[in-house]
Amino acid sequence: MSTPVALITGAAHRLGAETAKALHKRGWNLVIHYRSRAEQARALVEELNRARSDSATCVAGELTNPDDVARVADVAVKHWGRLDGLINNASVFYPTPTGTASEDDWNLILNTNLKAPFFLLQHCLPALKKASGAVVNMIDIYSERPLPDHPLYCASKAGLAALTRFWARELAPQIRVNGVSPGAILWPEGNDPMDESHQQAILDKTALARTGNPEDIAGAITYLICDAPFVTGQILPVDGGRSLNM
């Protein structure tokens, strides 16, 4: 039997990289997409290929660029001649208050978090249908409840949640489509760090009173891709009970 292949967007670090490692351990070949983290992506590919030769490759792409989206899909399908899984993990997250958000903010967040997954699936659709494949979209608990000062991020994730359910109906029975909705797993990086008081406020509303681990998300995605042949149209919260007390 041929080795199954998955494309994971934004897989050079954090949750995407952990998911790649988890699927690789289950015997999958991986196409690792990255935008700017070439060194990390190549290091991950080398690590996976040391464990199992010719089992991983990487492809760069700016997901706000339609030509790059098409090229990423083309590389993913052609490298091993098949595609069994698509994991839309890449995401942009930063505050965009309604009074100050710009069109550039709108385009960056909505194009990365919502438009790119749509057209990436469109380009991958023939290969996924042929393989009776599976799609997992990275949603967020804030797709259902607003996060202050993040209207564009919340809208993008709410849209992706809607697409997840729509695709599950439209693409059945050939393709299963599900989502994973993380809570507090890894705190934000970059120009929007979260101070300790804000972190603690989130943990105070989390039933398990702690952060999760990247392995928790990777395990949920692996379950939906590998071990859930009768599950489609579902968005699995992996949030320590945070959604019980938003």
The catalytic residue positions are 153
Residue with the two structure tokens 């999958």: 28
DSSP secondary structure letters along 102-138: -HHHHHHHHIIIIIHHHHHHHHHHHHHHHHT-EEEEE
Residues forming a β-bridge with 60: 34
Handedness of CA 23, 24, 29, 30 (dihedral sign): positive
Specify the DSSP class assigned to residue 4: P
The one-letter code for the residue type at 210 is R
Using CA atoms, how far residue 197 sits from 85, 180, 202, 208, in Å, is 39, 26, 9, 18
The one-letter code for the residue type at 223 is Y
Specify the DSSP class assigned to residue 12: S
Tokens of 131: 């393989």
In this structure, the chain runs to a length of 246
Triad 8, 130, 216: Cα angle to 5°: 30
Tokens of 158: 């709410």
